[in-house]
Structure 1
Amino acid sequence: MSERNKGWIAAVFIGFLWGTPWVVGTPLMEVMDSKMLVWLRYVVASITLFVILGVMSKSAVTQEYQKFSYSWDNRIDVFKTFACGFIGQALFSYFAFLSLDYITASENGVIMGLIPILILSVGFFARGARFTMLQLGAACLALAGVTMLVYVPESSSGGFNLGHVLAFLSAFAFASTAYTRADLAEKYGSISTMYHQFIFAAVGFTFVVLFYGLDFTTALQAFTSPSRILSIFILGVFISGISYLIYIYGINRVGVDGTGMALNLMPLASFALAALVLSEPFTTWKCVAIAIVVSALMIFVKAKAKAPAANPKNCIKPEVAGEM
């Protein structure tokens, strides 16, 4: 098998893997509060990336970047990392998990698929990024697909509800920090940047858990059955840790554009896994809605963003924007 084919396999695998967090988190939501689940996820993820960084510490890849430091001189980047960690990671996960009390995992996954559109929307106001006409059309098509999914005839949720609002807030929390996350990754490296973000996410939600008076021992419920152990392993170790190495492998062999296209499989992965694992209804209406959203996202990512040439930072780095 050629290196390029291996790269495509890696990219497609990541596209499916990053569409599964809200499905694999469902068994854990049955035994613990969503705030506790967020805390546990990022504690496990921080430990995982700490080990990965330790193994990679002497590699040429890590030596290309600056070393992140918690110093007064570096306070601006520390604050940016805190914002990316607490808002772009912890609140992103919290709102997403909380939405599962009101909507299905597949609905959540499809709304998460709108993140690339939200990122460029943030860039429009913050960095002067511009939509092309093709991207505007694709965005409208994607929203139409989501609307179809929300108002699916067979749904018992009664259409638009609080769960959809929470899912959109989750997607916006992630998108709102995408440009800052990209800037930090360019300076300190992707894995190192995510590691420090995860630390802030875990520390931040430690205080949230304490504020609400939750019992930290309830996190041990994640280890009371094989399915829950597998869920926290996939969520904290694989999705938030090892997957970045596979993602970088894919980028190195098929490029950012190819890997970005594969990430459009995320909504499809959420839908398929929710149907297979959680026995969510698999209807023609839902299939059409998913097909519309995935097709629209592929068109959106394929279209070149129109940004002022004088400032290349207006163009979001896709390899960072997609990290979950």
Structure 2
Amino acid sequence: MNTTNKNTFLGWVAAIAVACIWGVTGVVSKPLSMAVDPMTLVFFRYVTAVIGLSIIFLFTSRSKSLSVDLGASLKIDKKDIGRIVLCGIVGQGVFSLFNFLSLAHIGATENGVIQGMQPFATVFFGMMFMNFRMNKVQWGAFIASAICIYAMSVGPTNTIDGGSPLLGYAYVTCSMLALAWTAHLRASLAEKYGSVVSMLYQYISVAVMGIFVVIAMGLDLSQIYIIFSSPLLIALLIFLGTGISGGSYLVQLYSFKQIGVEKATMALNLMPLVGYLVAVFTLGEQLAVGKTIIVSLIVVALYVFTKYETKEEPQAAEKLKAQEA
């Protein structure tokens, strides 16, 4: 294998790895959300993320090649502070809170499929506020995915004791919309300051807000001992806060450089399928032929949607997915 083929191969491996990392968010969150109340878990997640991303920044900021894309300085304009706080509280805090709440009512499979609708929701918000347009093929892909989502919601669902599937779908939809609503703004901040720097400040804003919430609501931070009592929960929290919310950006940047943004972005369409398969094999969730077909069709619809959008607006394609985790 020559150098060019090797780089291409490693680029695809990196792109698929990012899809796997982001695709298992629901699976990773499930055990944590069952052990700790959602509001407190949000605080724990972003404190961990701030620590992890700060360490990553210390290393990436010293590299000239990495700092160009990830950020070399922590200095930001005062006019962007409000935007960063908005993206942090809504795009990260609200997103995570409703995501954790949903897992008390639906399985990681259903959660992952709804979260996989990010590209559609992001473009819809772009149509509302940024004059984006969808072509006929994209509309067809969206309608097909909507039918699949409906079929999944009325079909066999992973049941949770004491949970309400309808409420779970409502929670995860709110979570997905919170992330999609801030997608373009997060992308513009990442372009200006670097993805690591912009996300670090967003995580800090959530963590600081979390301190006020902890005091106001009297949250029980001693629940951290529940996590510390289990090596598995410790590993999941670190992976959730540092791997999913931090290290994955380095892997994605590598894939961008090796195979290009368009191809690397296409690989992210595997996220719902990855989440489904991992949930089945690690959490024992339901494996059904009908559900497998539905998830596969959604992946195809996402691929078609992204493919045609990328052809028409290559710069927007990167914005739609570069920071969805």
Q: Note whether the superposition's TM-score is higher than 0.5.
A: yes
Q: What corresponds to 1:145 in structure 2?
A: 148
* 2:319 matches 1:318: yes
Q: What corresponds to 2:257 in structure 1?
A: 252
Opposite residue 252 of structure 2, the aligned amino acid is: Y
Query: CA offsets, 1:203-255, max 9 Å, x none?
Result: 12222232221121212321211211221122112111111111111111111
CA contact (8 A) 1:102 1:162 kept: yes
Following superposition of structure 1 onto structure 2, how do residues 43-192 of structure 1 map, counting pairs within 5 Å?
43-60=47-64, 61-62=66-67, 67-69=73-75, 74-153=77-156, 156=159, 161-192=166-197
Aligned in 2, Cα 1:209/1:302: closer, same or farther, shift over 3 Å? same
Opposite residue 75 of structure 2, the aligned amino acid is: S
Query: CA offsets, 1:110-165, max 9 Å, x none?
Result: 00000011000000011001111111111111111111111114665799611101
Q: 2:19 aligns with which of 11, 15, 18?
A: 15
Distance 1:33 1:154 in 2: 23
CA contact (8 A) 1:42 1:236 kept: yes
* 2:244 matches 1:239: yes
Distance 1:206 1:258 in 2: 40
Q: What corresponds to 2:32 in structure 1?
A: 28
Q: Greater shift after overlay, 171-180 or 206-215? A: 206-215
Aligned in 2, Cα 1:141/1:322: closer, same or farther, shift over 3 Å? farther
Distance 1:93 1:131 in 2: 28
CA contact (8 A) 2:106 2:164 kept: no
Opposite residue 241 of structure 2, the aligned amino acid is: G
Opposite residue 136 of structure 2, the aligned amino acid is: M
Opposite residue 25 of structure 1, the aligned amino acid is: S
- CA positional deviation for 1:25: 1.4
Q: What corresponds to 1:217 in structure 2?
A: 222
Opposite residue 287 of structure 1, the aligned amino acid is: T
Distance 2:115 2:140 in 1: 19
Opposite residue 101 of structure 1, the aligned amino acid is: A
Distance 1:262 1:54 in 2: 29
Distance 2:60 2:264 in 1: 23
Number of matched pairs: 317
Distance 1:119 1:167 in 2: 15
- CA positional deviation for 1:90: 1.1
Q: What corresponds to 1:39 in structure 2?
A: 43
Identity of matched residues, %: 36
Alignment gaps of 5+ in structure 2: none
CA contact (8 A) 1:34 1:94 kept: yes
Following superposition of structure 1 onto structure 2, how do residues 273-288 of structure 1 map, counting pairs within 5 Å?
273-288=278-293
Aligned in 2, Cα 1:163/1:100: closer, same or farther, shift over 3 Å? same
Q: Greater shift after overlay, 149-158 or 177-186? A: 149-158
Distance 1:306 1:165 in 2: 33
RMSD: 2.2
Distance 1:248 1:279 in 2: 33
Distance 2:232 2:149 in 1: 30
CA contact (8 A) 1:16 1:269 kept: yes
Instruction: Flag as ranges the 4+ runs of structure 1 deviating above 6 A.
Output: none
